[in-house]
Amino acid sequence: MTATQPSENFGPVLKVSDLGPSRGEDIEIVLDPEQATVLARRLDISAARKVRLTGRLAPLGAHDWQFIGQIGATVVQPCVISLDPVTTRIEAPVERTWIRGLEPISAEESETPEDVSIEPLGPEIDMGAVLAETVALNLPDYPRADGVALEETVFTEPGKEALTDAETKPFAGLAALRDQLRDDSGGGSDSDG
């Protein structure tokens, strides 16, 4: 098997023509500290450590390929409230399928592809890209440090009374209106029939 070096060096880029159609390839990628630092920069997170992708790339039918494995990574992100570092361990299954003849979906054709684990098979399979994309997809969206809670903050123009979160809830106003109508009609019974 021949592998070319990817630009960011997260793992091998395998030439499909060199893969045996009747046998699979065991994949194990463990990023060194320098590679993990590059990955963290690319993902715009504070740090990445212990990044590892393992699994098996196997033929699927006569022309297609499938990778089934596991990603593991420790990531550090700033807390969305306090900006304190939040460390998260990611452990997730990985499944990716490359289909020969599958046309890529453009952004104009679809907002979100139905299955992001299926992609067109080209002349190469970039396992480093699989690693980077899988870590990115599994990052916590809103990392929060232990014990940190978002407090209510109220802003308004000088000289005006500020609205609180409770006052801006749309159904709270409707409930107050309903209660006022009940009081005005003498208990809310509808006996005019």
- Which of the pair, 109 or 1, is modelled with greater confidence? 109
Query: Where along the chain do its domains lie?
Result: 3-137, 152-188
The Cα 71–Cα 1 span in angstroms is 23
The Cα 97–Cα 76 span in angstroms is 29
pLDDT per position as a tens digit, 123-181: 899 999 999 999 999 999 998 888 777 666 666 778 777 766 666 666 666 777 788 88
pLDDT per position as a tens digit, 29-76: 999 999 999 999 999 999 999 999 999 999 988 889 999 999 999 999
**Tokens standing for residue 173:** 């106003």
Is the dihedral angle over the CA atoms 48, 54, 58, 60 positive or is it negative?
negative
**Tokens standing for residue 56:** 């098996």
Residue 85 pLDDT > 50: yes
The Cα 104–Cα 118 span in angstroms is 10
Contact in structure between 79 and 86 (CB atoms under 8 Å): yes
Is the pTM above the cut of 0.75? no
Residue 115 pLDDT > 70: no
Within 10-126, residue ranges assigned H as helices are 33-43
